[in-house]
Amino acid sequence: MTLKQKKNYVLLKNNLQTVLNSHLLQSTSNHKFDLVVVVQSHKRYKYLQALMQSLHKARGINKILLIVSHDYLLTEMRTVVESVQFCPVIQIFFPYSAQLHPDVFPGTDPRDCKRDTPKELALVKKCLNANYPDQFGHYREADYTMTKHHWWWKINFVFDQLNILKDYKGLVLLLEEDHYVAPDFLTIMKLLEQKRNSEYPNCDFLGLGSYNRHGSYSHFKHKVADYVAWASNKNNMGMAMNRATFDKIKRCNNQFCRFDDYNWDWTIQSLSSKCLNRPLTILTMQAPHVFHAGECSGLHHKRFCKMEDTITAIERSLSANMDYLFPQTIGVTSQNREIRRFAGVSRPNGYGGWGDIRDHKLCMSYVKSA
């Protein structure tokens, strides 16, 4: 496809919002789902394929709605999604990707300042964004800004522009293409939601567990969840929110889009101290029911390893701990004192990479009310 054809394709698909496997939709007018699962994808189709295989193994998977949000048009990625037959599926496409804007913002304009150009020199050269380096004096890099842009656009589109979810009040679980879920993840989500509704009504997020996947589940309190302050480096994988939490975050649109950090998760954490009147909280399992398979590649991971070996290790761990999966009840440990103290702990100024006013304006435009 030509660049123009790609842009038209994205606009058309986002408008049509075609449901694949629509015969699996419940016949009720508002299409009740046990869970909505949203996957943010780039172009690692083998990881996406492994994630789909793990979803397929989950008990009750036919009762979810799966949404895959692409920021890269790649036939292999769409083929993986279109091969899914176990649940209704919708594909959406981030329309402001660097791929669709290769020579202009939000991609890299050849007239933009280079990352390490001193501001004084940038002003002399009159490159486009000379006035807007980040807090460390660096200029934007499109590849790094895309993930935060895509994340914020995606959740705004899902909650506020996806017609099939107009009246949906349930949970939306956020995954990425290199995640891998346990076969009981839907059971865990239901137990967490029941516990939150009955005992922790102010809880913002529900989580499928930690990054630690090694060893036997008997090393964890496998039937126990922690109620803690949400931490970006611990709770950014396999987290779910409902519309109430989304609306709370959306009201911080200005702060989210102006915070000088190219990471969506660090930005979310900053809202606890810069916008909200209390820290964001999460009810999350101690034992892992979601796994990060993308240790071998990605924006922040450069380890030398094989994806297949990582997936095999995860599957072996799940097989060895099958007796600990599908709990019937869960308990909770609460750290209310630590939650109250957490508001000022987040890195106050961010990690940079997000100083360009053009990124701020585009980001803020995703909110429907804007």
Binding residue numbers for Mn(2+):
178, 292
- Cβ proximity of 124 and 196 under 8 Å: no
Q: How far apart are CA 223 and CA 287, in angstroms?
A: 8
Closest among 172, 164, 182 to 34, alpha carbons compared: 172
- Sheet order of strands, 331-334 included: 19-20, 89-93, 64-70, 35-41, 172-176, 239-241, 205-207, 281-285, 224-229, 331-334
Q: Do 6 and 73 touch, CB atoms closer than 8 A?
A: yes
Distance CA 49, CA 72 (A): 16
Distance separating alpha carbons of residues 241 and 189, to the nearest angstrom: 11
The H or E element containing residue 225 is strand 224-229
Binding site members: 40-44, 71, 178, 292
Residues making up the annotated binding site for substrate are: 40-44, 71
Q: Given the DSSP bridges, would you call strands 172-176 and 239-241 parallel, antiparallel or unpaired?
A: antiparallel
Residue with tokens 């698909």: 13
Q: Report yes or no: 15 and 43 within 8 Å, Cβ to Cβ.
A: no
CB of 70 within 8 A of CB of 92? yes
| Pairing between β-strand 35-41 and β-strand 172-176 as defined by DSSP bridges | parallel
Residue 288, Cβ density class (10 Å: 0-12 exposed, 13-18 middle, ≥19 buried): buried
CA 134 to chain CA mean position, Å: 24
